[in-house]
């Protein structure tokens, strides 16, 4: 009988507030903030400071360890959000429903930037593959790919109501694209380093760019109407005299307006205008955000006049002896209007300094009454902060920090009944509910390297880097006592089975044995820990393990060996040597037969504890092994390492059963429940993950075959891409290409369509044969093919094509051979009778005609098909357009009728509801403020 095992699968991940891989973004209502949390996006309620939802694609659709890299919110639609991922895919989510509406595949590298146009109908995406893709959000398909940048695209912005697009890149250039003609119309240089961010104000007066240069560059934006007027005003003589300069001015959209010196020397991270356009935030790669006030035209002109007036006064004083020159300067000042410069428009009003480096910023779309704006910051230490910006100060209003650690999770420990989880980091100890992932207590602490929860779940012990042993009261969430236990960092805390005691191992070469007991002082109970004996070692202690029968104690030292002693007498028993680098972790099985050691040399060694013989040495991880743990009452083992992986082993058979992927950085620690029904791991990515045992059985051989197939596929793909595939040529200046990309999904969809065409062809042939036999008089009942599911051949093919995702349709049809494409064209005539499928028919015919144009015009069999389609499609499209136009006109007429009946202006019900809700929330805020003021007054009187 082949042995089967139960599978472990990822169940939940918690502890991440905001990861550094992506930007944060407010929703259009300003009530929620979307923050990246590794592979998920958390939706935070800003006022309550709680996460209300997670946008998490299923593991099968996104693949393991695929992080979020870009977020964009549709300002025109309150609940739509576009999220870009590390594999180049983009998912459109409705975050109110928590559902993924569509998936767009086009990029070959990680998505770096996403931006909607004002109407929300178009989405522009930039990537590490140096391309910009324009997507039709309504049609759920890619329109075209813009190529020309020589390095990754860092930012994009729409101009002229979505008719133009400006993209910035690490290649130090800006490119202006005309989206109607799909070509690059202007290339803007001048930066001495990579351009990291660009933005344009809502009125599209200025476009600002930020790089590692010490100044921000500003460009004035020329719109189409201005360009037409300038072309009309140019006479013939002017064109001849200036040569090519006028024609260049005709096509140039961006014209350099000026520069503004920055305070910080770090490179620019993000540049963003607020919704009203009166503020500009410049976030640098350090801890600073500079807030600039944007003055309108009238104010900037007044400021320029004052500056000119001061300049004239100064020159008049300097040349006081020459009165004529002074008079002339005054006259010129009156005649010529002052030239507005960048310092006249942009004025630095605030500098926000955060405690740690800032990853991203986002302005709230709602402007509060009491201040100029609200801005949210995500910091690289897993923290969200909110600031209220006034003209004279910037005040922190809220910080979301309790739901996660500020640094690496260095240890995780489960209580004896598995209801509590304790985790430690460099400045805090947190108590979690492992089933829900909610943080119950946060206790200030020193750098905790190890921990242990005592039975009855009342107290916890934390060993710190400074050598202190902290005793934590879990119920009250306080640190009762910090005992100076060791002279070096405490690396390990292990319980003594069946006794009120524990053992600590430290870098000061000591292994100490402790006893604890609860003492009651002044009506309250406290835990008292006392050192009963000490064992001196020859080197630093890295790990300690006690056998379940308390017979042996094993100590791992810095000299790569593990020393085993008798627990009662502390006499030397065995020395386990064989590792090439220090042993970082070890564990003893429940029956006391085996001890497993994990080392920095990436090997896992299984030893017999009776004779100290090495049963097997396994190359377990690609990096150092940081923790190992047996499942109780079994010889199954979990190991984690710095290669981001969790592995499940059968130590008796020396086989790796499962490899669990999910962490995005080094995995530091591991805890297994008593029953082995779940495992908890902590990582450098600040996340704590729970892996649950399922009822699904699996076999070793099947898992081996799966792993070999995956490795073979990846090796073949890499070899094909690197060695045999022709190297892609550098794209031409402003080249345009197809938006989609070939993937497994598109290839399988192509195979499905070809199979459907073949089945339909066979069925049609059977039908014609049946009709011939029927005409001859040989009537026999016709038995349709069961595979057609009761549909006609034409309907069966239409069903197969309709199943293809809209975003993948173009690439799916491109892979069709010409013979199948021609056969597919013959069915389009029948499908046009269905009004719902007219758009699909048009897309199919357009793609096939563009792809196979040369062959179609030289194939006589294709001419009658194309002639019929030409007559049908135009008529059907006109019908659809007329229907849409009629419906829009009717709705407009109804709107006018409703507005004429009432005195109030017509407004959409949804916007009206939003207004009522916002007014209600403002009233509640005002009430709470008045209550707080009353309470303060009472306190002051007292």
- Secondary element (H or E) of residue 416: none
Q: Which residues touch 238 (CB under 8 Å, ≥6 apart)?
A: 246
Look at strands 688-699 and 735-737 and give their pairing.
Answer: unpaired
The pLDDT score that the predictor gives to residue 326 is: 47
349, 282 in Cβ contact below 8 A? Answer: no
The residue written with tokens 């593959």 in the block is 129
The mean pLDDT of 39-64, rounded to a whole number, is 83
From residue 180, alpha-carbon distances to 163, 177, 183, 184, 818 in Å are 6, 9, 8, 11, 30
The mean pLDDT of 523-536, rounded to a whole number, is 86
Secondary structure of residue 791 in the 3-state scheme:
coil
Q: Which residues touch 561 (CB under 8 Å, ≥6 apart)?
A: 575, 576, 577, 579, 583
Q: Which pLDDT band holds residue 533 (cuts at 50, 70, 90)?
A: very high
Tell me the two tokens of residue 149. Answer: 């940048």
- In 319-454, where does DSSP find H-type helix? 323-335, 342-345
The percentage of residues in the chain with a pLDDT greater than 90, rounded to a whole number, is 54
Average pLDDT score over the chain? 86
Per-residue pLDDT tens over the stretch 367-423: 888 889 999 999 999 999 999 998 888 899 999 998 999 999 999 999 999 999 999
From residue 507, alpha-carbon distances to 164, 214, 313, 541, 587 in Å are 63, 47, 73, 5, 19
Tell me the two tokens of residue 838. Answer: 């007219």
- pLDDT of 329 above 50: no
Q: What is the chain's alpha carbon radius of gyration, rounded to the nearest angstrom?
A: 35
- pLDDT of 733 above 80: no
- Secondary element (H or E) of residue 322: none
C-alpha to C-alpha distance for 17 and 437, rounded to whole angstroms:
13
Kindly tell me the sign of the dihedral angle through the C-alpha atoms of 609, 611, 612, 617: negative
C-alpha to C-alpha distance for 110 and 121, rounded to whole angstroms:
23
- pLDDT of 913 above 80: no
C-alpha to C-alpha distance for 168 and 778, rounded to whole angstroms:
74
497, 550 in Cβ contact below 8 A? Answer: yes
- pLDDT of 196 above 50: yes
The mean pLDDT of 473-484, rounded to a whole number, is 91
The pTM assigned to this predicted structure is 0.85
The mean pLDDT of 676-698, rounded to a whole number, is 95
The pLDDT score that the predictor gives to residue 724 is: 45
- pLDDT of 762 above 50: yes
- Secondary element (H or E) of residue 403: none
C-alpha to C-alpha distance for 907 and 913, rounded to whole angstroms:
10
Residue 611 burial (CB count, 10 A): 7
The pLDDT score that the predictor gives to residue 296 is: 85
The percentage of residues in the chain with a pLDDT greater than 70, rounded to a whole number, is 87
DSSP class of 732:
P
Burial class (CB in 10 A: 0-12, 13-18, 19+), 771: exposed
The mean pLDDT of 42-60, rounded to a whole number, is 87
Q: Which residues touch 755 (CB under 8 Å, ≥6 apart)?
A: 800
Judged by average pLDDT, the poorest of 326-330, 335-339, 525-529, 851-855 is 326-330
The pLDDT score that the predictor gives to residue 730 is: 55
Kindly tell me the sign of the dihedral angle through the C-alpha atoms of 56, 679, 668, 448: positive
Largest distance between two CA atoms of the chain:
124
The pLDDT score that the predictor gives to residue 242 is: 39
- pLDDT of 905 above 80: no
The pLDDT score that the predictor gives to residue 237 is: 39
Long-range contacts: 44-51, Cβ < 8 Å, 24+? 44/384, 44/400, 46/364, 46/376, 46/386, 46/398, 49/398, 49/400, 51/403
DSSP characters over 190-211:
--SS-EEEEEE-TT-SEEEEEE
Kindly tell me the sign of the dihedral angle through the C-alpha atoms of 486, 492, 498, 500: positive
Per-residue pLDDT tens over the stretch 701-724: 988 888 888 877 766 655 544 544
- Secondary element (H or E) of residue 45: strand 40-45
The mean pLDDT of 97-126, rounded to a whole number, is 92
Does residue 807 or residue 88 have the better pLDDT?
Answer: 88
Alpha-carbon torsion, ordered 496, 497, 499, 502, to 10 deg: 20
Residue 717 burial (CB count, 10 A): 11
Per-residue pLDDT tens over the stretch 644-672: 999 999 999 999 999 999 999 999 999 99
CATH no. of 409-631: 2.130.10.10
Q: Which pLDDT band holds residue 331 (cuts at 50, 70, 90)?
A: very low
C-alpha to C-alpha distance for 855 and 738, rounded to whole angstroms:
20
169, 130 in Cβ contact below 8 A? Answer: yes
Burial class (CB in 10 A: 0-12, 13-18, 19+), 61: exposed
469, 483 in Cβ contact below 8 A? Answer: yes
- pLDDT of 925 above 70: no
C-alpha to C-alpha distance for 903 and 682, rounded to whole angstroms:
62
The pLDDT score that the predictor gives to residue 265 is: 87
Secondary structure of residue 347 in the 3-state scheme:
strand
Q: Which pLDDT band holds residue 838 (cuts at 50, 70, 90)?
A: confident
From residue 17, alpha-carbon distances to 239, 390, 492, 616, 890 in Å are 59, 27, 29, 42, 48
User: What are the residues facing 101 on neighbouring strands?
Assistant: none
Tell me the two tokens of residue 562. Answer: 């593990």
- pLDDT of 167 above 80: yes
Q: Shortest CA distance to 646 belongs to which of 611, 692, 584?
A: 692
DSSP characters over 651-676:
TTTTEEEEEEE--SS-EEEEEE-TTS
The pLDDT score that the predictor gives to residue 404 is: 92
Does residue 733 or residue 775 have the better pLDDT?
Answer: 775
Does residue 773 or residue 36 have the better pLDDT?
Answer: 36
- pLDDT of 172 above 70: yes
- Secondary element (H or E) of residue 638: strand 636-641
Per-residue pLDDT tens over the stretch 818-837: 999 999 998 888 888 888 88
The pLDDT score that the predictor gives to residue 933 is: 66
The pLDDT score that the predictor gives to residue 250 is: 66
Tell me the two tokens of residue 930. Answer: 């008045």
Q: Please state the φ and ψ torsions of residue 447, each to the nearest 5 degrees.
A: -65, 100
C-alpha to C-alpha distance for 429 and 478, rounded to whole angstroms:
10
C-alpha to C-alpha distance for 811 and 108, rounded to whole angstroms:
14
DSSP class of 739:
S
Domain ranges for the chain, please list them.
1-15+632-712, 409-631, 744-859
610, 592 in Cβ contact below 8 A? Answer: no
C-alpha to C-alpha distance for 892 and 907, rounded to whole angstroms:
12
806, 844 in Cβ contact below 8 A? Answer: no
Residue 415 burial (CB count, 10 A): 23
Q: Which pLDDT band holds residue 632 (cuts at 50, 70, 90)?
A: very high
Strand order in the sheet with 645-650: 625-630, 636-641, 645-650, 655-661
Judged by average pLDDT, the poorest of 198-202, 775-779, 780-784 is 775-779
C-alpha to C-alpha distance for 357 and 284, rounded to whole angstroms:
9
DSSP characters over 658-722:
EEEE--SS-EEEEEE-TTSSEEEEEETTS-EEEEEEEEEEEEHHHHHHHHHHHHHHHHHHHHIII
- pLDDT of 778 above 70: no
The pLDDT score that the predictor gives to residue 732 is: 60
Alpha-carbon torsion, ordered 847, 849, 852, 857, to 10 deg: 180
Per-residue pLDDT tens over the stretch 57-102: 876 555 566 899 999 998 877 789 999 999 899 999 998 888 898 9
Q: Which pLDDT band holds residue 335 (cuts at 50, 70, 90)?
A: very low
149, 741 in Cβ contact below 8 A? Answer: no
């Amino acid at each position: 009988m082949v042995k089967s095992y139960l599978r472990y699968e990822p169940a939940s991940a918690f502890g991440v507030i905001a990861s550094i891989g992506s930007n944060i973004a407010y929703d259009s209502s300003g009530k929620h903030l979307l923050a990246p949390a590794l592979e998920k996006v958390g939706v935070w309620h800003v006022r309550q400071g709680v996460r209300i939802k997670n946008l998490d694609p299923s593991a099968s659709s996104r693949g393991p360890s695929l992080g979020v890299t870009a977020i964009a919110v549709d300002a025109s639609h309150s609940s739509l959000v576009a999220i870009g991922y590390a594999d180049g895919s983009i998912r459109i989510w409705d975050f109110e429903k928590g559902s993924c509406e569509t998936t767009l595949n086009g990029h070959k590298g990680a998505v770096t930037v996403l931006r909607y146009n004002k109407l929300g109908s178009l989405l522009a995406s930039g990537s590490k593959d140096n391309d910009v893709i324009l997507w039709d959000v309504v049609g759920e398909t890619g329109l075209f790919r813009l190529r020309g940048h020589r390095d990754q695209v860092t930012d994009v912005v729409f101009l002229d109501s979505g008719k133009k697009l400006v993209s910035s890149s690490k290649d130090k250039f800006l490119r202006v694209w005309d989206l109607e003609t799909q070509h690059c119309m202007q290339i803007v240089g001048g930066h001495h380093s990579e351009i990291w961010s660009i933005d344009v104000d809502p009125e599209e007066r200025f476009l600002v760019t930020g790089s590692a240069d010490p100044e921000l560059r500003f460009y004035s934006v020329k719109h189409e109407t201005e360009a037409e007027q300038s072309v009309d005003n140019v006479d013939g003589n002017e064109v001849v005299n200036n040569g090519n300069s006028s024609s260049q001015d005709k096509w140039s959209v961006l014209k350099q307006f000026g520069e503004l010196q920055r305070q910080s020397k770090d490179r620019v991270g993000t540049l963003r205008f607020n919704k009203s356009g009166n503020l500009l935030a410049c976030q640098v790669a350090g801890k600073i955000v500079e807030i600039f006030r944007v003055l309108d035209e009238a104010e900037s002109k007044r400021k320029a006049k004052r500056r000119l007036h001061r300049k004239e006064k100064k020159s008049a004083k300097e040349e006081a002896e020459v009165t004529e020159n002074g008079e002339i300067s005054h006259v010129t000042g009156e005649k010529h209007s002052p030239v507005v410069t960048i310092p006249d428009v942009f004025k630095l009003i605030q500098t926000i300094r955060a405690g740690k480096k800032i990853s991203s910023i986002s302005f709230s779309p709602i402007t509060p009454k009491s201040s100029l704006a609200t801005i949210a910051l995500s910091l690289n230490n897993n923290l969200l902060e909110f600031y209220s910006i006034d003209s004279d100060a910037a005040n922190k209003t809220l910080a979301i920090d309790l739901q996660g650690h500020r640094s690496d999770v260095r240890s995780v420990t489960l209580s004896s009944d598995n209801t509590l989880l304790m985790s430690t980091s460099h400045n805090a100890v947190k108590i979690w509910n492992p089933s829900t992932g909610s943080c119950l207590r946060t206790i200030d602490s020193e750098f905790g390297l190890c921990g242990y929860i005592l039975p009855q779940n009342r107290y916890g012990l934390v060993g710190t880097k400074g050598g202190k042993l902290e005793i934590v009261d879990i119920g009250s969430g306080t640190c009762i006592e910090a005992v100076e236990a060791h002279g070096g960092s405490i690396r390990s805390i292990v319980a003594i089975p069946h006794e009120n005691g524990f053992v600590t191992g430290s870098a000061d070469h000591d292994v100490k044995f402790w006893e604890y007991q609860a003492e009651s002082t002044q009506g309250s109970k406290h835990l008292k820990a006392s050192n009963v004996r000490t064992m001196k070692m020859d080197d630093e202690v890295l790990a300690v393990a006690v056998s379940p029968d308390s017979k042996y104690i094993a100590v791992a030292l810095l000299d790569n060996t593990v020393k085993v002693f008798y627990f009662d007498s502390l006499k030397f028993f065995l020395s386990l040597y064989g590792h090439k680098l220090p042993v970082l972790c070890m564990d003893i099985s429940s029956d006391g037969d085996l001890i497993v050691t994990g080392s920095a040399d990436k090997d896992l060694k299984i030893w017999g504890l009776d004779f100290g013989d090495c049963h097997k040495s396994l190359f377990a991880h690609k990096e150092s092994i940081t923790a190992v743990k047996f499942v109780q009452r079994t010889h199954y083992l979990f190991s984690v390492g710095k290669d981001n992986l969790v592995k499940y082993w059968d130590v008796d058979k020396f086989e790796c059963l499962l490899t669990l992927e999910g962490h995005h950085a080094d995995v530091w620690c591991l805890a297994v429940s008593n029953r082995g029904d779940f495992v908890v791991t902590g990582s450098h990515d600040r996340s704590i993950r729970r892996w649950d045992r399922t009822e699904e059985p699996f076999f070793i051989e099947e898992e081996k075959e799966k792993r070999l197939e995956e490795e073979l596929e990846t090796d073949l793909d890499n070899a094909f891409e690197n060695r045999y595939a022709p190297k892609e040529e550098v794209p031409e200046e402003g080249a345009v290409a197809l938006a989609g990309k070939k993937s497994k999904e598109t290839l399988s969809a192509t195979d499905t369509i070809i199979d459907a065409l073949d089945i339909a062809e066979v069925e049609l042939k059977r039908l014609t044969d049946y009709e011939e036999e029927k005409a001859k008089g040989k009537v026999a009942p016709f038995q349709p093919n069961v595979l057609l599911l009761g549909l006609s051949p034409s309907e069966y093919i239409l069903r197969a094509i309709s199943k293809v995702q809209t975003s993948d349709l173009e690439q799916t049809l491109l892979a069709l051979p010409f013979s199948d494409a021609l056969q597919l064209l013959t069915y389009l005539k029948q499908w046009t009778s269905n009004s719902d499928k007219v758009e699909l028919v048009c897309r199919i015919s357009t793609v096939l005609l563009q792809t196979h144009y040369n062959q179609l015009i030289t194939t006589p069999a294709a001419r009658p098909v194309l002639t019929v389609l030409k007559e049908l499609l135009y008529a059907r499209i006109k019908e659809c357009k007329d229907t849409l136009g009629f419906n829009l006109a009717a709705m407009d007429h109804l709107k006018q009728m409703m507005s004429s009946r009432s005195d109030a202006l017509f407004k959409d019900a949804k916007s009206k509801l939003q207004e009522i809700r916002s007014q209600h929330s403002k009233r509640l805020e005002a009430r709470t403020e008045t209550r707080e003021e009353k309470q303060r007054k009472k306190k002051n009187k007292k």
